Every structure is written in structure tokens, then in C-alpha cells.
């Protein structure tokens, strides 16, 4: 029995000695991998990160005695990965930069580096927008949308990405999604105080709806013209073209008072030269004539008798109204 016990003790000692030796080997391997990573950091960042992740993995398995190697490796991996991604970005290698910033993001999450996580997550949406804009210019609209959507996963309030999506939908003639994207750009822009993007989105929608209103006008659909102009005003009321078309459409529908209001508003916004303002005076003349206000109509047509409208205005003055 004593002999058996002795043999068991010897076996346990042998196993313990073997384990200790293996553990020491493992710690040594982790240390070597770490040192290799530190050395490579000066010349080859991707290989440095590879060596350090290997060191972290080995150290984690080694457990007791390897904690410092594990801590140091985890500390450096996200930083070096971020630095490599930054170098690619400076070299204008956008696709590779995106891939490596995402790796930096992942390492930062895994190793709890909030500073690198914040930096990577700040750059990634901007880079995805750059990538998306390049695809947009190349006519790759589905790829562009995928990039803009990816940007928004990192920053849901990225007004610029919403704006860019709207431009794609415009190319695809999808007015419903165009409006949704531009409204999102305006809403997000107001939240983050991105005044430039807000103004761009508002102007784009206002101008786009004015174009649609012009198309409706050419088809003699004056009610639709007015509806679309009203939507345009919801985005911006500073475009004299909108108020001019309003005045013309209202006159076509014999809505004289509305025509007067629109023409006067247009005059306020238009450049203060006789040639530029003549068209508004002409519509005022038509509205006053429709209301039977001959004196006011004559006064307006006289101001309208400038440039291209001179012949039409003089016809109203001399032939129709017989102004004195």
C-alpha cells in the first residue's frame, strides 16, 4: 500500500512539474510574441498587431503570471490598429481605411478602449459617406445607398448621410423616399446644429418641388401647381420664382386677391431693378384688372412695360384698358 501511495505521489509531482514547465513555456511564448509586436510597431503595424493579438491570446491561456503581458498587449492593439487605419486614410485608400478602422472599432470594444472606440466611430461614418459619394458619382446607386446606410449605423444623426441618400433617390425618381431622406437630413441637422446641411436639404426640396410645379403648370393643371408650390414654401419661402409662379397660377384660376399677395411678396424678394421686377408688376396688373380696379391695373402695367414684357404690357395699357 505504501508503495502504491508513493507511486501516486510521484505521478502527481511529475504532472505538477510538467504543468509548471508548460506554463513557464507559455508565459515565455507570450513574452516573446509581445516583444516581437513592440519591435514591429516601428516598421510594420499590421504584423505588430498580429503579434500582439497572439501574445494576448497566449497570455490569457497562461493565466497566473501572464497578467502584465496580457494587460500591455490589450492596451496597445487598438492604438496600433487605429494608427494603421489612419495611415491608409492619409494615403487616400478609402476602402482599406474603412476595413481597418472597423478592426480598430472591434479591438476597442473587445479590449475596452473607449478613446479609440470614440475616434474610430467618429471617422467611420464620414468615410462611408466618402465611399458612397464616389459610388453615387459613378452611377452605382445601390452601392452608394449601402454605404450611406452603413454610415448611419455608426451615427444615426449624420445629416450629411441622409442628404446624400436623398440625392440618390432623386436620381432614381423616387420622390417619396427623396422627401423622407431630406426631411431626415433637416431633422438631424437641427439636432446637431449642422446649419449648412439643413439649408442644402431645404433648398434642394424647395427647388425640386418648384420644378414639379412648373411641369404641372405646363400641363395647365393650376391646382396641382399651387399644391406643389405650397409644399415648396414649407421648405423655403425666400425664392422669388415660387411667388411669381404662384401669382401666375392664381391669375389663371381668377383668384385675384391671392395673385396680388403672391406678386407683392415676390417683389419684396426680387432684385430691386425695373427689369427684374417687371414680371411681378405684370401679374399685379392682371389681378387688378380681373378685380375691375382699372387705375391700379394701369399703374402696374406701366411699371411692367420694361424688357421682354414691354409689348404685352403696352397692349394692356393701350388696347385693353385704354389707360390715360
If pLDDT is split at 50, 70 and 90, which confidence band does 25 have?
A: low
Q: What's the confidence (pLDDT) of residue 19?
A: 37
67: domain range?
1-112
| Residue 28 maps to a domain | yes
How far apart are the C-alpha atoms of 119 and 90, rounded to whole Å? 15
Distance of CA 133 to the CA centre of its chain: 10
Sequential DSSP letters for 106-132: HHHHHHT-HHHHHHHHHHHHHHHHHHH
Of 220, 224, 179, residue with least CA distance to 202: 179
Asked if 173 and 201 sit in the same domain, the reply is: yes
Q: What's the confidence (pLDDT) of residue 18?
A: 39
If pLDDT is split at 50, 70 and 90, which confidence band does 30 have?
A: confident
- Under 8 Å between Cβ of 136 and 164: yes
- Under 8 Å between Cβ of 12 and 5: no
DSSP SS3 for 173: coil
- DSSP 8-state code for residue 93: -
Asked if 98 and 170 sit in the same domain, the reply is: no
- The per-residue pLDDT for range 256-275, each reduced to its tens digit, is 999 999 999 999 999 999 99
Cα distances (angstroms) measured from residue 315 to each of 50, 115, 293 = 85, 75, 17
Which of 224, 259, 291 marks a domain boundary? Answer: 224
How far apart are the C-alpha atoms of 163 and 227, rounded to whole Å? 24
| Residue 277 maps to a domain | yes
Of 185, 141, 183, residue with least CA distance to 163: 185
- The per-residue pLDDT for range 56-94, each reduced to its tens digit, is 888 888 877 878 988 999 999 999 999 999 999 999 999
| Residue 60 maps to a domain | yes
Would you give the end-to-end CA distance of the chain in angstroms?
139
Asked if 8 and 100 sit in the same domain, the reply is: yes
Asked if 25 and 84 sit in the same domain, the reply is: yes
| Residue 124 maps to a domain | yes
Largest CA distance in the chain: 139
Counting DSSP H helices and E strands in the chain, the numbers are 15, 0
Of 186, 232, 178, residue with least CA distance to 206: 232
Asked if 119 and 99 sit in the same domain, the reply is: no
Asked if 91 and 15 sit in the same domain, the reply is: yes
Mean pLDDT of all residues in 208-217: 97
Percentage of the chain modeled with pLDDT above 70: 92
How far apart are the C-alpha atoms of 99 and 298, rounded to whole Å? 70
Asked if 243 and 263 sit in the same domain, the reply is: yes
Total count of domains within the chain = 3
Asked if 197 and 285 sit in the same domain, the reply is: no
Asked if 42 and 133 sit in the same domain, the reply is: no
Asked if 308 and 212 sit in the same domain, the reply is: no
Q: How many CB atoms lie within 10 A of CB 149?
A: 13
* In the predicted structure, residue 3 carries a pLDDT above the cut 70: no
Mean pLDDT of all residues in 118-134: 96
If pLDDT is split at 50, 70 and 90, which confidence band does 224 have?
A: very high
Residue 145 has φ and ψ, to the nearest 5°, of -60, -40
- DSSP 8-state code for residue 156: T
The angle, 0 to 180 degrees and rounded to 10, between the axes of the packed helices 159-171 and 114-137 is 20
Asked if 195 and 279 sit in the same domain, the reply is: no
Asked if 147 and 211 sit in the same domain, the reply is: yes
How far apart are the C-alpha atoms of 38 and 192, rounded to whole Å? 40
Tell me the CATH number at 162: 1.25.40.10
Amino acid at each position: 500500500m505504501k508503495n502504491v501511495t508513493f507511486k501516486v505521489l510521484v505521478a502527481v509531482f511529475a504532472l505538477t512539474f510538467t504543468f509548471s514547465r508548460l506554463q513557464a513555456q507559455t508565459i515565455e511564448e507570450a513574452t516573446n510574441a509581445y516583444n516581437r509586436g513592440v519591435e514591429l510597431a516601428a516598421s510594420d503595424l499590421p504584423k505588430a498587431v498580429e503579434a500582439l493579438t497572439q501574445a494576448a491570446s497566449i497570455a490569457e491561456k497562461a493565466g497566473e503570471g501572464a497578467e502584465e503581458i496580457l494587460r500591455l498587449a490589450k492596451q496597445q492593439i487598438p492604438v496600433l490598429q487605429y494608427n494603421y487605419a489612419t495611415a491608409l486614410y492619409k494615403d487616400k485608400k478609402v476602402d482599406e481605411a474603412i476595413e481597418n478602422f472597423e478592426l480598430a472599432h472591434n479591438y476597442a470594444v473587445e479590449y475596452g478602449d473607449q478613446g479609440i472606440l470614440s475616434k474610430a466611430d467618429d471617422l467611420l461614418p464620414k468615410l462611408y459617406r466618402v465611399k458612397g459619394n464616389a459610388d453615387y458619382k459613378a452611377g452605382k446607386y445601390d452601392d452608394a445607398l449601402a454605404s450611406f446606410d452603413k454610415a448611419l449605423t455608426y451615427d444615426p444623426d449624420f445629416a450629411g448621410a441622409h442628404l446624400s441618400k436623398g440625392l440618390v433617390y432623386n436620381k432614381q425618381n423616387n420622390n417619396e423616399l427623396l422627401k423622407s431622406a431630406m426631411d431626415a437630413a433637416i431633422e438631424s441637422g437641427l439636432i446637431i446644429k449642422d446649419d449648412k446641411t439643413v439649408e442644402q436639404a431645404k433648398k434642394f426640396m424647395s427647388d425640386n418641388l418648384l420644378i414639379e410645379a412648373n411641369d404641372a403648370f405646363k400641363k395647365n393643371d393650376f391646382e396641382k401647381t399651387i399644391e406643389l408650390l405650397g409644399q415648396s414654401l414649407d421648405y423655403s419661402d425666400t425664392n422669388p420664382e415660387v411667388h411669381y409662379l404662384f401669382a401666375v397660377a392664381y391669375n389663371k384660376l381668377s383668384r385675384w386677391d391671392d395673385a396680388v399677395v403672391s406678386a407683392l411678396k415676390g417683389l419684396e424678394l426680387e432684385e430691386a431693378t425695373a427689369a427684374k421686377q417687371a414680371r411681378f408688376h405684370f401679374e399685379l396688373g392682371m389681378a387688378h384688372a380681373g378685380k375691375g380696379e382699372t387705375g391700379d391695373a394701369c399703374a402696374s402695367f406701366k411699371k411692367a412695360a420694361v424688357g421682354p414684357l414691354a409689348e404685352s404690357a403696352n397692349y394692356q395699357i393701350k388696347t385693353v384698358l385704354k389707360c390715360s
